[in-house]
Chain A
Amino acid sequence: MSTKILTFSLLFALAGALPAQTSSEIVSLLIPDVALLAVRPDDGPITLNITVSPIAGSADFITDSDDSRFLNYSSAVESGASSRAIYAELSSGSLPSGLLLQIELGTPSGAAEGQLAVPVGPVTITSTPQSVATSIRGARTGIGSGNGHQLFYSILVDDAEELGENQGTNPLVITYTLADD
């Protein structure tokens, strides 16, 4: 009698201890590096004017500025890689003598999210690429005007005497590049 009880007990124990069977596989996702940059809205050139003050006897100039554009970008950076910066350069044309063109990025706005660019402040643009913002890693600004960093363009008089010899229109092309910091 005791043998039967023991046997059934062991059978139940065995049934309860049936091993679970497992199978497995690997799934993986590869996120690529991303570095995309654009100026928005893309609706033609910005015009900056400089005129002489109409006040008789005054040597002052009336300069112009523009804040109608925004920098949009998407960035994905590998862990351990250096952060990115936005560089600006005068890639085509030249400023009239006696004038300077300054660019400054505003703080992020709109849908911008992530490790966004840190503006460095006003930068005088030359034909050599200069950093206008740094420290970008994984980030996106959203698309279009109102998203990202507002761009402030200012034309400044550096040497009034040289400026007096210039008239007309000077087309300029400013190129922005998103690259390693």
Chain B
Amino acid sequence: MIKHYILSILLLISGLLPAQEFELDAPLDWNYEIPSNDIVLAGEDFSSRYDSPAQQTIGRISGGAPFWDPNHPAHQNQCLNSNRCDWVVQVQKIDIQWHPDLQLYIKRNGFLPNVSNGEIWQEVSDIPLDFFNGTGETDDIFVQYSFRNVSVLMDAGEYSTQILFTLVDI
């Protein structure tokens, strides 16, 4: 009887918990090919830095309303009482083929009232680092990438890495 009672409570609670998500909208992936005319004069190196479009990746945070509406009293109450409406998105890279001198930077573009940080270029590393944080739902999180330290001293060929975004409750 006690077990059934506990199980029922757990199922009820798990159904009420907001299904928080950080989703990536199209266009996914960024594949950049340095143009063959990037080096004009013999003796030069590559431009060193290549930036993606400012809205290369568009992400959104979604969950179950009203807990994810920052202006809704229920959301505010939820945040105050359980501190489960604030989140942080962490970013890391998992190299597929990489060069130790090659650097990848990332930043967030655009103003969102309930999202903070991430607007300054930061290097993406192999360990998860806080990228930006906020509260509630939001759309149109614009993410931009930048390859840095690109040089002819690296072998020609393709370098790729998987970017992993992790939404963490705080």
Contact = CB atoms under 8 A, between A and B. Distances in A.
Interface residues of B, number: 61
A36 B42 contact: yes
A55 interface: no
Size range of the interface on A? 35 or more
Interface stretch (A25-33, A43-51, A98-106, A165-173): A25-33
B162 A25 contact: yes
Given A21-B20, A21-B21, A30 B32 contact: yes
Interface string A123-153: 0000000000000011111111001100000
Nearest to A40: B43
Contacts of A21: 20-22, 166-167
A7 B155 contact: no
A174 interface: no
A31 B166 contact: no
Interface in B123-170: 145, 147, 150-169
Interface stretch (A59-67, A68-76, A88-96, A156-164): A68-76
Instruction: Say what secondary structure dominates the interface of chain A.
Output: strand
A32 B33 contact: yes
Interface stretch (B8-16, B65-73, B110-118): B8-16
Contacts of B41: 36, 38, 72, 143
Nearest to A37: B42
18 contacts: A14-B13, A18-B84, A23-B24, A24-B24, A26-B29, A27-B104, A28-B31, A30-B31, A30-B158, A31-B46, A31-B155, A32-B35, A34-B36, A74-B42, A75-B152, A76-B154, A138-B156, A140-B43
